[in-house]
Structure 1
């Protein structure tokens, strides 16, 4: 059938075949389609004139009944059939942009990318003011990971119809995909200004707020979306994500089960449910849900990676065989090879096959790193910018806004340095609440960092009020509340300026073990780009150590440094020191930290549910032949006090 994706020759051939078969109406429609694309096409003009002389003007205009048939087929959800019907109608009514708009949508839904793009373009060419087609086309470009191309299309739609809510929403989605969250938020807000009951826009805005760690705002948007569309499975899952981040696992599970009643085969929702079960220490339930994912999609690499760690070593045979086959297959998607490589690397480490383990890890790291987009600011520039700000005393005015509270406890350091272990120990104490990894200091501090010396006491007051509200909103009056965000080592200067009585615990680990532990783990974010390259890892580790040394000079005796190796060697002795530093009385329960029933949302989720073990100390030595770039990049003098021989 000659549709939007057909060439002029193909349409011309189809027209000639129709004329030969005596289907004059169809032949006329097809010749008109050729002339719409190529108005001066002499062969088509002559053929059309000949048919019209023969009475071929029987072609009729499209009616509302025709349009209703097409819309009904589309709304049935049978997009393959909708594409077929739209193609037929595009042949019968070649000058109807409405038909091509639906053809574009249906083609996109069945994965026919070329036909979708050509149909949308043709709809817009036939009617340059067809803002709905522009909005749909822009949305589709975002879906196929071309947000940069989507933006001008959507901007054009809005220029023609400034109050078109859907185009604003789709433009917000495009900007969000490009990492421009401020622009995205602006257009989500405009979409809701023009259509206050636009559930999709509320859902999208809530997702943006979630990415900014504004869980209060996100929850409000998701609840508003569900008030409008109670059976929106996506909004239910998104709200569940907010609850899970707040440690409300039972509430999150309930919402996800509701979403699965609506859409039982949604693998993303199932994966989310499995992760929450795992974070809550319910490994049996987690495995069961991972198996549901794999029953729907047997090659789901992320599910395979996450489930493998929960399966006993002796029961992994069939699973490992499947994963190796997928890992080696040329047709396996690159991101899937990343998930599989990290999982297999961990597995072969446990079996003692370190060469095979490293080969898998190296492939996973290389594949993941090579396609990462550049960061808005390099790590080197970030270290330099923040260090300079406090060395020049740029934030002197903020001291007038300092809050004397002793509630906040910041656990920070390199990732994989033992921050989760320290938090789990401390949070087991009855007077402590573990708030988990909050990005609040970084997010809320952006304005202060941007203003620099122009930041006022009022700015500082706004920060302390907002941060304490976020930190303590689920703490139920706990005397100490832990913010375990490793990356807060960047923010020590800001923390000590605005919360001079806050406790700061820096976890330190042999950088060889620490960096290799980072290298062999998958982090679902592009923020830690240094993690996937040995040279970059060493440089980042050196910069971290230099920064912590500088904080010690600027804030002497105000940071407690705990050695990971000392903690695992003498759990009770080091735990007593930690509680003493926090001004808390000793409780024997902290020695049973692994039994604490609280959600853990880090890469260490499975480790902190075990008793302390020492096998991770000097584990880098098993891979020494493969870690020369890392070892040579570490500043031996700088790290002299942390090396464990």
Structure 2
């Protein structure tokens, strides 16, 4: 099965703060309100300063509300975010950013029809807005409309051929449709444009699910190289090593995975299974008991303990 990399989590990263409305220069708070590198807390604080000083009007004030609404959305303060984005729409009804970011709030609330309506309006106001197409693809995916989602990701990529996340999102949907060739092509393009941890894990998952285990292991190895203290690369490669019968290698990878994420029941279970195959009964029992402690419903751990006479 696919490693749990929530599509909502992946697609949430697509939203951006409001583009800076063109006009006179602003001060430090204005710049910080729209700084992409700032944390949500930093943007919310800066945008609040801009709003509270009353120094801006019209679309510039709408931009501050839109950016603060984005920051609040990232903090999952959804009602406060919606209030800000409603205000942005009142101030500048033709400002696509507000509709796009308001669509994200409705998406997080699970109201995908309303989210799609908001993205429709953003696209109507700014047909070049690749982000709105991609976010609408997210909402359509979550409604179960996979073909509609792909069409939106196509549109996003047409408007921005270097949009790495849109390739990742489309690849994810192709993988769900079991279209391995298209999924691999999209993930490979994402890797070309933005070779990060998730890019290699996502492509590795497709290789794994299509039983191309050596290639899967290679991609997980790249994920480990990029982020050696992130457990995901280690535990995914560990699983491949177990599939290939390399129990010692699997134990070594799960040692690392558990070093960086000791709360993952499946890593404890899988290392326990490998230790059992290697004849390390006591080590296996300890791992499997820990897996059950973390997840009492984990049937494979319970059954293995029963076979070992430890339950």
TM-score by length of 2: 0.74
Corresponding position of 1:599: none
Quote the Cα distance in structure 2 between the aligned partners of 1:146 and 1:346. Answer: 41
Contact 1:305–1:342 (CA<8 Å) still a contact in 2? no
Partner of 1:239: 203
> Residue 298 of structure 2 corresponds to which residue in structure 1?
341
Q: Which residue of 1 aligns with 2:133?
A: 168
Does structure 2 conserve the Cα–Cα contact (< 8 Å) formed by 1:236 and 1:256? yes
- Which whole-Å CA distance do the structure 2 matches of 1:232 and 1:162 have between them? 29
Counterpart secondary structure, 1:256: helix
1:601-628 Cα deviation digits (max 9, x unpaired): xxxxxxxxxxxxxxxxxxxxxxxxxxxx
User: Please, which of 74, 96, 102 is the counterpart of residue 137 of structure 1?
Assistant: 102
Q: CA deviation at 1:161?
A: 2.7
Residue number in structure 2 paired with 1:256: 220
Report the alpha carbon displacement of residue 184 of structure 1 after superposing the two structures with TM: 0.7
Give the equivalent residue in structure 2 for 1:70. 33
Distance 1:183 1:63, change over 3 A: same
Give the distance between the partners of 1:119 and 1:62, measured in 2 at CA. 23
- CA change 1:296–1:203 in 2 (3 A) is same
User: Matched residues in 1 for 2:80 and 2:203: separation?
Assistant: 36
Q: Deviations over 1:395-421 (max 9, x none)?
A: xxxxxxxxxxxxxxxxxxxxxxxxxxx
Matched ranges for 1:83-482 at <5 A: 83-93=44-54, 96-142=61-107, 147-227=112-192, 229-312=193-276, 313-327=281-295, 340-351=297-308
CA pair 180-103 structure 1, distance change in 2 beyond 3 A: same
Tell me how far apart the structure 2 counterparts of residues 349 and 206 of structure 1 sit (CA, whole Å).
Answer: 41
Distance 1:135 1:324, change over 3 A: same
Flag the 1:316–1:127 CA change in 2: closer, same or farther, 3 A: farther
Q: How does 1:481-560 map to 2 (within 5 A)?
A: none
SS at match of 2:263: coil
Q: What is the root-mean-square deviation in Å for CA atoms of aligned residues?
A: 3.2
By how many angstroms is 1:172 displaced?
Answer: 0.9
For residues 345 and 215 of structure 1, the distance between their equivalents in structure 2, rounded to whole angstroms, comes to 34
**CA deviation after TM superposition for structure 1 residue 351, in Å:** 4.7
Matched-pair contact (CA < 8 Å) for 2:197–2:226: yes
Offset from partner CA, 1:341-393 (integer Å, 9 cap, x none): 3344324432558xx8xxxxxxxxxxxxxxxxxxxxxxxxxxxxxxxxxxxxx
| Inter-partner Cα distance in structure 2 for 1:188 and 1:297 | 33
Identify if the C-alpha distance between structure 1 residues 185 and 106 changes in structure 2 by more than 3 Å, giving closer, same or farther.
same
Q: Report the CA distance between 1:187 and its aligned residue.
A: 0.9
| Ranges in structure 2 where 5+ consecutive residues have no aligned partner | 1-22
Contact 1:308 1:343 in 2 (8 A): no
Q: Structure 2: how far apart are the matches of 1:350 and 1:258?
A: 37
- Please report the TM-score for the alignment, with normalisation by the length of structure 1: 0.39
Q: Distance in 1 between matches of 2:263 and 2:177?
A: 32
Measured after TM superposition, the shift of residue 99 of structure 1 is 1.9
Q: Deviations over 1:1-45 (max 9, x none)?
A: xxxxxxxxxxxxxxxxxxxxxxxxxxxxxxxxxxxxxxxxxxxxx
Retained in 2: the 8 A contact 1:210–1:242? yes
Of Structure 1 and Structure 2, the greater helix share is in 2
**Secondary structure in 2 aligned to 1:86?**
helix
Shift of 1:87: 3.1
Distance 1:147 1:263, change over 3 A: farther
Q: Secondary structure at the match of 2:275?
A: coil
Q: How big is the shift at 1:169?
A: 0.9
CA distance in structure 2 between the aligned counterparts of 1:183 and 1:122, rounded to whole angstroms: 30
- C-alpha distance 341-254 of structure 1, shift in aligned 2 (>3 A): closer
1:226 is displaced (CA, Å) by: 2.9
Deviations 1:508-540 (A, max 9, x none): xxxxxxxxxxxxxxxxxxxxxxxxxxxxxxxxx
Higher radius of gyration, 1 or 2 = 1
